[in-house]
Structure 1
């Protein structure tokens, strides 16, 4: 398996360098402006309370976004360095865990972290929103990094029994319960399993903290305000919920199936080591935790998208672990994974259901580096913002962005003839304009 590891390691380094390069052309987008606008208008605490009461219960995810620095960053520095900081932090946390749980040297742990980073990236459903949209990164990528820290803190507590590791674990658990609903459900399932397996006083306390944070987040008035009321018959609503659960699960299953041979071949030693400690039934229960957020999204009739990114890596890891009990030779088919991940995005579904088209990001990544004029895109955005900011007119009709990226996150304004989008509304509020549309 040295061959596949070396190939993947080489690709991972190129991918990381490429993402860092792309980051240098990143800009503020959409919700970045509305969070900053709310904080300027209501103050930090006022905006936090307003979001909790009227928008949702992500008391960590939304709160950290209230600090969005767009109004204090005229040179757009943060969007260019923040993704690099998060990617570096992600690798650092993985290194810590590989060193802790498998006693690897720093070099071995670094190698494994780069391999994991590659799998994680190709598995993302919405790479632009996950890595490069500041608001989205704080809600979906930062919690993954914090989850890695929790994994490390809890492992250190189990080894040393020092209380301060327990305290750090408790703090991270409370934070993660307010990060996003998917992470909260996965974590609640994991804490429940741990508490059932080892009902110690400390584990019960951690579960209790998790439940408290979960209730604070999920019972927020804003969550209920945003729920769409339907006049459909009871049986029809639940039919749609079951259908969305099935389609979302089917999408994730199909996507990870082609990654399993590569994942298994890259981490066969680690999975085998865990296999000696966890029996097949327990492995199946852990894997089924991923169904909790899928059922939740099905209940909300929520189509697959950026919110599913946190499910993919959990399901891929745990399902690969299960298959290892029955099909160890699956790692021999790693070459199939490489054939698939460089294919372009499928085009089977209409725009309304385009989220179900499968993409492993590598094809778009290559195009972004080789074809997209990122410097031109960066300059176009700068010119647009400068025009809006300095114009004395109340209603503006501006040019469309011509150089549209594939990896960087971007959502265009609507025209006057189209239905008004949230992008228009947010920029109008931030820049105090009556109307901003594209030609």
Structure 2
């Protein structure tokens, strides 16, 4: 039983499960207001005309080695379905992401905790992930973004689940099944984006290194998986399209800039993401981490060298930043950091558990007055982080409560209706009046900007028009303080009326 919790343990568990519902609810509701934008139209036009292998070859040789991301883009809802199906894709992504987290955590923790406690652990980790996800709009609601980055995260969770099961089954047949599933998943993740490639290769190198001398029977399976992943990585990295694209970047292949930038951005990542993760970690340690440490005395999952694990963890984050800087000469954008933050969170909690195992594995767990009092303020700190005015969760709720998401949805639907029914070949449409931060990416741009990025042209071509432009400027995205003030003014006006 956790230190000093007693009957309070169930109360904390229930509260944290409710925190999980609080976290996911606004993001699920917002899927009703999602719309395609930017590359969604361009990819739909590309894949709607070209054949599968033709498109794969063209992208691979002229643009990018992301072979799986290119392949999976063929399920773009704009190619096959009405626009309304786009919403269902985002909802399905959230369900898959939540489910993948849950089943991985359940596999690791089912020996130690009840289903309710497992749901609470999942709630804490999901809350930490969602509250600081670098870009909610691109990570959850934009098909072209989430199929490249977030879906790779989901596949990574499934890969970890398969690898965990591999180490915990007996018999050659079952081991072969899990290692083949792992190979398929790892190949898909590696072909999704370069950050996931780095994360998976560091992970597999860590597993191979730490388990090589522990189990002779596992060696051939793990070596087979590693060889497959090296081949997949070389296929992605050596794609001619990568090198054809590099000259279009600002300052690629600059070793000094890449190394110093990666080290600096790694330090910044720990600084900007660390506070919330630390608060959640302390609560996790008291409620579940220490009990696991006292029970998981012979688990191969935690029987690894802590120093090697820490080095691998920091190296994976640094290498992700390095790879992006090397390829582009620029710092990683928010959509790329979705993957980096994902590995940051997973690696943090895994290393935390290793640390707890190191100090509490052979020590008796004793109850103290301090340990009785600590969970309450730690829970309070976590709740403060989640309800912070600028958190992703608060932003999602404000986009709903303010009505901005609904207005955004209605205005875009009117735009589609006008374009569809109009006989114009060069059309003008009103600019959106509000841009909900949780949803907006690039739906249309003023003429000067659209000429460079092609956003308007792709939208026009999708609707069978020669050209579409905005009648007015795109408004700024309001910060959350302004939105709260607007909500207050609206309530005051209603009361006065």
TM-score by length of 2: 0.77
Query: 1:280 Cα shift?
Result: 2.6
RMSD: 2.9
SS in 2 for 1:125: coil
Q: Does 1:280 pair with 2:306?
A: yes
Return the match for 1:301 from 311, 329, 334.
329
Is contact 1:33–1:430 with CA below 8 Å preserved after alignment?
yes
**1:433 — aligned with what?**
465
- In 2, Cα distance between the equivalents of 1:102 and 1:425? 51
**1:219 — aligned with what?**
238
Is contact 1:153–1:168 with CA below 8 Å preserved after alignment?
yes
Return the match for 2:199 from 186, 191, 200.
186
Is contact 1:65–1:138 with CA below 8 Å preserved after alignment?
yes
Deviations, residues 390-435 of structure 1 (Å, cap 9, x unaligned): 4333322211011321111431422234462331232233334333
**2:437 — aligned with what?**
406
Aligned residues: 422
Q: Does 1:311 pair with 2:340?
A: yes
**2:494 — aligned with what?**
none
Q: Does 1:339 pair with 2:384?
A: yes
**1:41 — aligned with what?**
49
Aligned pairs for 1:336-375 (under 5 A) are: 336-345=381-390, 360-375=391-406
In structure 2, relative to structure 1, the CA distance for the partners of 1:372 and 1:49 (3 Å cut) is farther
Query: 1:174 Cα shift?
Result: 1.2
Aligned pairs for 1:388-427 (under 5 A) are: 388-418=419-449, 420=451, 421-427=453-459
- In 1, Cα distance between the equivalents of 2:25 and 2:244? 43
Is contact 2:133–2:341 with CA below 8 Å preserved after alignment?
yes
In structure 2, relative to structure 1, the CA distance for the partners of 1:390 and 1:291 (3 Å cut) is same
SS in 1 for 2:431: coil
Higher deviation after alignment, 86-95 or 325-334: 325-334
**1:262 — aligned with what?**
279
Query: 1:37 Cα shift?
Result: 0.4
In structure 2, relative to structure 1, the CA distance for the partners of 1:79 and 1:251 (3 Å cut) is farther
**2:481 — aligned with what?**
none
Is contact 2:444–2:450 with CA below 8 Å preserved after alignment?
no
- In 1, Cα distance between the equivalents of 2:470 and 2:94? 34
Query: 1:184 Cα shift?
Result: 0.9
Is contact 1:258–1:337 with CA below 8 Å preserved after alignment?
no
In structure 2, relative to structure 1, the CA distance for the partners of 1:209 and 1:291 (3 Å cut) is same
Deviations, residues 94-148 of structure 1 (Å, cap 9, x unaligned): 2322232222443332332222211111120001111111121111111111111
Task: Give unpaired runs (5+ residues) of structure 2.
Answer: 213-218, 361-370, 472-497
Is contact 2:152–2:192 with CA below 8 Å preserved after alignment?
yes
In structure 2, relative to structure 1, the CA distance for the partners of 1:110 and 1:47 (3 Å cut) is same
Return the match for 1:201 from 198, 220, 224.
220
The structure number with the bigger radius of gyration is 2
- In 2, Cα distance between the equivalents of 1:149 and 1:340? 28
**2:479 — aligned with what?**
none
In structure 2, relative to structure 1, the CA distance for the partners of 1:278 and 1:296 (3 Å cut) is same
Higher deviation after alignment, 48-57 or 120-129: 48-57
Query: 1:242 Cα shift?
Result: 4.1
Return the match for 2:417 from 386, 393, 398.
386
- In 1, Cα distance between the equivalents of 2:424 and 2:147? 34
Q: Does 1:73 pair with 2:100?
A: no
SS in 2 for 1:33: helix
- In 2, Cα distance between the equivalents of 1:174 and 1:233? 26
Deviations, residues 127-172 of structure 1 (Å, cap 9, x unaligned): 1111111121111111111111111111222111412122111111
SS in 1 for 2:147: helix
Query: 1:92 Cα shift?
Result: 2.1
Query: 1:314 Cα shift?
Result: 2.1
- In 1, Cα distance between the equivalents of 2:116 and 2:95? 16
In structure 2, relative to structure 1, the CA distance for the partners of 1:9 and 1:422 (3 Å cut) is farther
Is contact 2:251–2:329 with CA below 8 Å preserved after alignment?
no
Query: 1:382 Cα shift?
Result: 1.7
Deviations, residues 164-204 of structure 1 (Å, cap 9, x unaligned): 12211111111111111111111001111111223311111
- In 2, Cα distance between the equivalents of 1:233 and 1:82? 35
Task: Give unpaired runs (5+ residues) of structure 1.
Answer: 346-359
Deviations, residues 238-263 of structure 1 (Å, cap 9, x unaligned): 45434532453243212221122233
